[in-house]
Amino acid sequence: MAKKKFPLFNRIALIGVGLIGSSLARAIKKHELSRELAVATRRRSTLAVARKLKLGDSYHLKAAQAVKAADLVILCAPLGANAELAKQIGPNLKTGAIVSDVGSSKVSVIKDVTPHLPEGVILIPAHPIAGTENSGPEAGFDTLFEKRWCVLTPSEEAALPAVNKIKRFWQALGSRVEIMDPKQHDQVLAITSHLPHLIAYTLVDTATELERDLKKDVIRFSAGGFRDFTRIAASDPTMWRDVFLSNREAVLDILGRFTEDLTALQRAIRRGDGNLLHNRFTRTRKIRREVIDAKQAGTEPWRRGK
Amino acid sequence: MAKKKFPLFNRIALIGVGLIGSSLARAIKKHELSRELAVATRRRSTLAVARKLKLGDSYHLKAAQAVKAADLVILCAPLGANAELAKQIGPNLKTGAIVSDVGSSKVSVIKDVTPHLPEGVILIPAHPIAGTENSGPEAGFDTLFEKRWCVLTPSEEAALPAVNKIKRFWQALGSRVEIMDPKQHDQVLAITSHLPHLIAYTLVDTATELERDLKKDVIRFSAGGFRDFTRIAASDPTMWRDVFLSNREAVLDILGRFTEDLTALQRAIRRGDGNLLHNRFTRTRKIRREVIDAKQAGTEPWRRGK
């Protein structure tokens, strides 16, 4: 009851109701984190689905309408839409409001959004490291963020009370919150998420071009590793297009290193250099051990099984 | 009881007791597929573990001893050991014996083993598409082959009764058996398994070379995709060295295609070509759908969860 009387926010506006936005809507309601929840999406058909799913208290085709009087605005559209959205909502943001987001790259969000924010509005970029290969408002669920990391990348000038409020918000959704430098975040995610997605998309795309009978067998015998890649390569195309364009620099950097290392292994295979292969394959086992240890250190797994 | 009185084989000899060999030993015993089970491994310490685990009825350091009087010999050592093993066991193989294996590449097995087999001994190469990232005799378990594919690649001259016997053997272990051309097998596996492993090894290796603080964060935030790769990259180094050297041609061919496709995406990212990225990411979704359909067509999943 006390929770109900003093929610963290008076009015939250969610701009975008895809997998992440609709999961946020459900989780905010479940944990009663706002008196009022406004949801916005520019597509009429998507808004109708949001309404049918009862995701919010009010429904808007115009983001600028949804953010009026909101004390928290969360941008949940693909990264490429941020600049335009910020421009639209800027004039309607109330003093003291916090603007946040859920994007997979953070330097670009700061660059795209900051110029459009009026004085007295605080940007606290956020990235919940959570998701599935499904997309759209119907794919969301209210436990998506439980036991997952949420990385915040506030500027050094950001007011501490606002940072703490967003931190409490994500903790209330069950997340483990970490504060990081935006550039460091982008480099880390380029390796842990963006490059793996790019590789998976590429490998599956390579398979689509195979001769018909070979492709049929590849699909039948996909259990040897390929199947995991197809799951990753089924992720939302628009979201991922924007991730690669937004985090271009860090992705190209790590991709360059990856390609060099792959070329070295290719050369070893061609020359029959078994020692080099064995050495590389041995040292990668250590990393697996560290990943397992890191997971054990944190009492519970923060990743949903497939 | 009838099963006990008329097992499929009188004496099976397993050469090698790693993950696959020891799983086979357990499954053969469980399903009573042989009157006698001889296990061989050239390392004294491994043989002691096999004995402790009661994997067989007799234990041998010399493969040539183990195969005496066997009507089925299964080579379960890394692919690189096959030629030498075949040479050692050849003179001791009894007429009518079947020699088989469990290797991930098939053309090389035929090339390595055939020259050493005496007249009247039949080679039926086999590849159970099953495994985990763990290795050694203690990692085995008797249900490893259930609901998994086992591909047989007999030559066109191979006696049909022998082919059928091996087929019944794997079916008794719970596998779905498929007969394929060895070259086709090697091409398919290069895509579904060998290249995914090579890529995973490379990506994890790229991460090992990162600066220390970046690497620490990569391990902490590994849930975004990287963690799946570390699991694959923890697989047995010796086995995988031999896979790449044995299936060199098919791996290099598919790796070449993959690299071309990756370069095209890299170029699109550098130039900001969002349309190309979106198109590629959209068509890969179709393959995922086909993989899911193929799985559903087959009543039950044939892959163990993580």
Mean pLDDT of A66-70: 98
| pLDDT given at position B139 | 95
Name which residue leads in pLDDT, B87 or A233.
B87
Region A254-259 average pLDDT: 97
Nearest to B265 among A196, A202, A278 (CB): A202
For A192, the closest of B225, B270, B280 (CB atoms) is B225
**Which domains are present in chain A?**
2-180 (3.40.50.720), 184-297 (1.10.3660.10)
Q: What share of chain B is helix, strand, coil (3-state, %, to 5)?
A: 55, 10, 30
Q: A165 to chain B nearest CA, in Å? A: 23
Q: Which helix (H) or strand (E) holds B184?
A: helix B182-189
Q: Say whether A241 sits in a helix, a strand or coil.
A: helix
pLDDT band at A304 (very low <50, low <70, confident <90, very high): very low
Best CA proximity match to B48, nearest among B68, B56, B239: B56
Inter-chain residue contact B214 with A184, CB threshold 8 Å:
yes
Q: What value of ipTM does the predicted structure carry?
A: 0.89
Q: What is the pLDDT of residue A295?
A: 66
Local confidence band at B294 (pLDDT 50, 70, 90 cut-offs): confident
Phi/psi for B227 (5° steps) reads -60, -40
Using CB atoms and an 8 Å cut-off, which of residues 252-271 of chain B contact chain A?
A: 252, 254-255, 257-259, 261-262, 265-266, 269-270
- The model's pTM is 0.89
Dump pLDDT digits (tens) for B48-83: 999 999 999 999 999 999 999 999 999 999 999 999
Give pLDDT, residue A300. Answer: 30
pLDDT at B258 exceeding the cut of 60: yes
Interface contact flag, A188 B221, Cβ < 8 Å: yes
- Residue A296 in contact with partner chain B when CB distance is under 8 A: no
Q: Which residues from B are below 8 Å from A103, CB to CB? A: none
* The B176-179 sheet, strands edge to edge: B126-128, B149-152, B176-179
Q: Which two tokens stand for residue B146?
A: 């259930």
CB contact under 8 A, A217 and B180: yes
Strands B126-128 and B149-152: antiparallel
pLDDT tier, A116 (very low <50, low <70, confident <90, very high otherwise)? very high
Residue A73, strand partner residues = A13, A99
Cα dihedral value A172, A177, A181, A184, nearest 10 = -130
Q: How many residues would you count in chain A? A: 306
- Find the CB nearest A192 among B197, B222, B248: B222
Burial A274-289 (b: 16+ CB within 10 A, else e): bebbbebbebbbebbe
Which of chain A's residues have a Cβ under 8 Å away from the Cβ of B227? 192, 291, 303
Contact check, Cβ <8 Å, B205/A278: no
Q: What is the mean pLDDT of residues B116-133?
A: 95
Q: How many CB atoms lie within 10 A of CB A270?
A: 13
Name the H helices within chain A: 2-5, 19-30, 44-52, 63-66, 82-89, 107-113, 160-172, 182-189, 195-208, 212-220, 226-232, 237-246, 248-271, 274-297
